[in-house]
Amino acid sequence: MKNNHDTGHRGLFRTVALISAVFAMVMCVLIVVNYIQVKRTDPLNTPVMKALVERLQGNPGDDQLRQQIRELDLLARKAFFTTQWQVRMGGYLLFFSLLIAVICLKYLEMREKPVPEAPQGEKTDFWNDRNINRSWVAYTGIGIVVLALVLGTLTHLELGKRLEPAGLLMGGNNATFNAGNANNAGNADNADSGKRRVAVAVVTEGYPSAQEINANFASFRGPGGDGIALKQNTPTSWDGKGMKNILWKTEVPLPGFNSPIIWNDRVFLTGASETTREVYCFDLNSGKIIWKFPVDKIQGTPAKAPVVNKETGQCAPTMTTDGRRVYAIFANGDLIALDMDGKKVWAKNLGLPANHYGHSSSLVMYHDLLIIQYDQRGAGCVMALSGKTGEVAWKTSRNVRISWASPILVNTGSRMELILVADPLVASYNPADGKELWKMECISGEVGPSVAYADGVVFSVNDYAKLAAVEIGDPPKLLWEDNEYLSDIPSPLATGKYLFLATSYGTVVCYDARKGTKYWVHEYDTPIYASPILANGKVYLLDKKGVMHIVKADQTYAVVGEPQLGEGSVCTPAFASGRIVIRGDKSLFCIGKP
């Protein structure tokens, strides 16, 4: 009876092992086939979609065609995420089926009876030959499994590339992946350094007041990093070609997708090529280049410039300033601080960013600390450096994927918070010491847009993911989410009442900020890469052709004006009193009444 029971046991495990092995081989075949299909077809870029888009370009007023494209795009998104899910599940099922097979075979090996005598008349190496055959079978199976795992990984990487719509390659500064800003000065809670952080003493003197910050436009998207310009008398009418209300126009020596910043009567931006990197200071009143500084001879600078996407370039991040110094960072990791007269204060290289498009996160100041979001492949972090010396004040590791978004600083009423976004979460930190305050997993993919903030609510968005409204708290609370209109480049803009979302394909949406109800949707015929800015009760939306769509910040769509720059642009405008400064594809423009 015991022998029968043992035989039955071995038979059961042998059957389970066989079924698991067969299932594993089936999964291998499916993964290989899936890889071939992904390489041959792109669910997000089908010939049908291309044809419909071409038809729409020829007939932009066809609303029925627009709706058809939107529905097809939604189906494409679902197909894309289904494929991603299949790849992940296929890998998991392959792993567990192999694990079960190995366990069963190991059990059978332990219960195996002694090897019998070789059959009469057979060669003396009978069992050796049999073992060799088994080895070949095992090695072949292992080879197929390894091939399937490699192809599964390649499929996942290929799908990651498909996630990047054309605009995603624009980098953090084309008004796109940037959102760094100086903010209203405020007191942050003090806390000990905590796990995974490095902290040293912070000097809190010599930084600008809240009044100084609000009077300037010191970082990408303005004094709060939230896209709100605290300016009056903002221009609404100009013509770049006819030079109507164009105070000056100056050619920028080197290209770049970073946006201008303004402090008093000076405008700053950077330009770069593969061999040259420069910082520029323009006179706000005349447009004359006051000084330019070549960024070179920095210890640790890589011998060669990194390979970046041409639409990201070598200087995507927007600069920042505290009114005492200006700070700039480049795609090769070079970081420099200059005084307001263009003399070097300090410089260092942070290490070549592990980023397949190019580093794009813009800089932001908190008191006298320069804050840098450095989310790279396998080594995400946010750090603060002393503005005076460049020494690390604190550094906090982040368990996130690569991000092209930039940090924003907000005053919640009770404290200052530094808010960052990267797959898979939105997270808040104490800007004084880097301590994590809260986090919420609500985003995925290769994140380009920075978050928006207003009245205790943070808004995050990414294409092929979702739009999420998160109420700050302990813990934070998800108020609402939507996936109909999503941005891959422009950062959202929020007020206490409204959320304005622009997309790279030219659609602009106004939501109720607290409920998520759509008030209006308007579709332009030109892509929008610049992030919207709110100034003097109006929303400024600059499209890629250089047309500024100015609409009322209201629940009803109302056009104020649509002046033209006369030159294309992908950069977010900067605002001064009665003036707007815009970086075009080749020139820097200052707009205002003479």
pLDDT digits (tens, 9 = 90+) for 461-472: 999 899 999 999
Statement to judge: residues 156 and 222 lie in one domain: no
Contact 512, 497 (CB under 8 A): yes
For 78-121, the pLDDT digits (tens) are 566 566 666 667 677 767 777 777 777 766 666 665 555 555 55
Contact 324, 340 (CB under 8 A): yes
* Residue 380 maps to a domain: yes
Statement to judge: residues 131 and 279 lie in one domain: no
CATH code of 553's domain: 2.130.10.10
What average pLDDT does this structure show over 492-509? 96
pLDDT value for 66: 66
For 477-488, the pLDDT digits (tens) are 999 999 999 999
Statement to judge: residues 408 and 519 lie in one domain: yes
Task: Work out the pLDDT band at 312, boundaries 50, 70, 90.
Answer: confident
Regarding predicted confidence, which is higher, 341 or 128?
A: 341
Q: What is the pTM of this model?
A: 0.72
- Between CA 400 and CA 593 the distance in angstroms is 46
Statement to judge: residues 186 and 61 lie in one domain: no
* Residue 374 maps to a domain: yes
What average pLDDT does this structure show over 495-513? 96
For 133-167, the pLDDT digits (tens) are 555 555 565 666 566 566 566 555 555 444 433 33
* Residue 443 maps to a domain: yes
Phi, psi of 488 (to 5 degrees): -110, -10
pLDDT value for 409: 96
Closest to 376 (Cα-Cα) out of 353, 399, 358: 353
pLDDT value for 578: 95
For 338-396, the pLDDT digits (tens) are 999 999 999 999 999 888 888 999 999 999 999 999 998 888 999 999 999 999 999 99
* Residue 523 maps to a domain: yes
Statement to judge: residues 181 and 241 lie in one domain: yes
Closest to 278 (Cα-Cα) out of 299, 263, 300, 256: 256
| Residue keyed to tokens 């990194």 | 306
* Residue 118 maps to a domain: no
**3-state DSSP call for residue 99?**
helix
pLDDT value for 27: 72
- Between CA 96 and CA 21 the distance in angstroms is 11
DSSP 475: S
Regarding predicted confidence, which is higher, 102 or 15?
A: 15
Average model confidence (pLDDT) across the chain: 82
Which residues in 401-414 are b (16+ Cβ under 10 Å) and which e?
Answer: bbbbbbbbbbbbee
Joined together, the tokens standing for residue 396 give 């906090």
pLDDT value for 38: 58
pLDDT value for 395: 97
What average pLDDT does this structure show over 385-414? 95
Statement to judge: residues 466 and 539 lie in one domain: yes
| Residue keyed to tokens 């061999």 | 275
| Residue keyed to tokens 């020139």 | 587
Statement to judge: residues 20 and 146 lie in one domain: yes
pLDDT value for 100: 79
Regarding predicted confidence, which is higher, 171 or 289?
A: 289
Judged by average pLDDT, the poorest of 5-9, 29-33, 302-306, 430-434 is 5-9
Q: Is the pLDDT of residue 170 over 50?
A: no
pLDDT value for 107: 67
- Between CA 372 and CA 406 the distance in angstroms is 8
Q: Which residue among 162, 188, 223 closes a domain?
A: 162
* Residue 119 maps to a domain: no
Cβ-based neighbours of 394, under 8 Å, separated by 6 or more: 193, 197, 198, 199, 200, 202, 383, 384, 433, 434
pLDDT value for 76: 65
Statement to judge: residues 480 and 542 lie in one domain: yes
* Residue 326 maps to a domain: yes
Statement to judge: residues 92 and 193 lie in one domain: no
Q: What's the structural domain count of the chain?
A: 2
What average pLDDT does this structure show over 310-323? 91
* Residue 180 maps to a domain: yes
The residue segments making up the domain with residue 54 are 2-113+124-162
What average pLDDT does this structure show over 450-468? 96
Statement to judge: residues 172 and 149 lie in one domain: no
Statement to judge: residues 52 and 200 lie in one domain: no
Cβ count within 10 A of residue 1: 5
Statement to judge: residues 72 and 25 lie in one domain: yes
Q: Which residue among 103, 136, 162 closes a domain?
A: 162
For 191-225, the pLDDT digits (tens) are 333 334 444 333 335 789 888 999 999 999 998 78
Q: Is the pLDDT of residue 168 over 50?
A: no
